[in-house]
Amino acid sequence: MVDKTLPADERLNQMLVEYFDARDSGRTPSRDELLAMHPDLSDDSDLSEQIDEFLDNQQLFDRFSEALEVTAISAGQDTASVQGRATPDPSRPTVLGGDHRAAMFEPGVRFGDYEILEEIARGGMGVV
């Protein structure tokens, strides 16, 4: 329960802890549900405004965060049949496949929706 005698900022933080708890157990409360969890505070327009602001900010963060996710692309995303190409630098451990796979990356070769147009760089870090 949120203690009504606490300063407004602290009350909001307590509500957010409950919000995150609920979200972590797989049921993200809507704004109204979040406010409904605290009927005693429902007349506090300042608090509901701050909750709106928080949810907006979280949403914006999620949108930008998704952009980072897209550029980071982790394993398992349309990589099933794609083998990487080894770095030719002998001082580095061989991470992925060997040179014999180079043919897979010749211009014109297609990967799903993508087509290799040209090799843009080759060197110690591998072929881009």
Binding residue for another protein (CB under 8 A) from 28, 42, 57, 94?
57
Residues 6+ apart with CB under 8 A from 105: 85, 116, 119, 127
Question: Strand pairing partners for 15?
Answer: none
- Which residues, at least 6 apart from 48, have a Cβ–Cβ distance to it below 8 Å? 31, 35, 42
Tokens of 119: 């090799």
Site for another protein in 9-28 (CB under 8 A): 9-10, 12-14, 16-17, 20-21, 24
| Selection from 119, 81, 116, 84 nearest residue 99 by Cα | 84
Q: How far is the CB of 101 from another protein (least distance, A)?
A: 9
- Sole binder of another protein in the list 26, 74, 99, 100 (CB under 8 A): 74
CB of 4 to another protein, least distance (A): 15
Q: Which residues are near another protein by CB under 8 A?
A: 9-10, 12-14, 16-17, 20-21, 24, 53-54, 56-58, 60-79, 82-85, 87, 92-93, 95-96, 105, 111, 114-117, 119-128
